[in-house]
Amino acid sequence: MPIEKEKFRKVSSNLEDEIASFLKARKGKAFTAEEIMGSTSFHVDFDLPVTSEISTFVAANFVAVLHDLVSKGQITRKVVNNRMYFIAAE
């Protein structure tokens, strides 16, 4: 359902807050997007072909939120052993 432009601008992302809180609470460790997603309220379902197609799009949106947090300087991203990891910014 569409929302008004003003509401869009005023609302903060609970998911961004949840991700940042998760990483800040574990400052000494870096996590993959899958690990972070698994410990948040953001879930996907790859069990059925129909839900798998939708979940692929949803997972891509989750990764986009991670990259937004990197752009804002709240978290840092680094590729280690061909896997992308995220950690709370210092």
Q: How far apart are CA 5 and CA 33, in angstroms?
A: 29
> Which pLDDT tens digit goes with each residue over 19-69?
999 999 999 999 999 899 888 866 655 555 554 555 556 677 888 989 999
Q: List the alpha helices (DSSP H) in the chain.
A: 5-10, 14-25, 33-38, 49-71
Would residue 6 count as lying in a domain? no
CATH number at residue 49: 1.10.10.10
Would residue 7 count as lying in a domain? no
pLDDT value at residue 86:
97
Tally of domains in the chain: 1
Would residue 60 count as lying in a domain? yes
pLDDT value at residue 3:
77
- Which residues have C-beta within 8 Å of that of residue 82, sequence separation ≥ 6? none
Please give the single-letter amino acid code of residue 78.
Answer: K
In the predicted structure, residue 7 carries a pLDDT above the cut 80: no
In the predicted structure, residue 8 carries a pLDDT above the cut 80: no
Would residue 83 count as lying in a domain? yes
Strand duo 31-32 + 75-80: pairing = unpaired
Would residue 73 count as lying in a domain? yes
Would residue 33 count as lying in a domain? yes
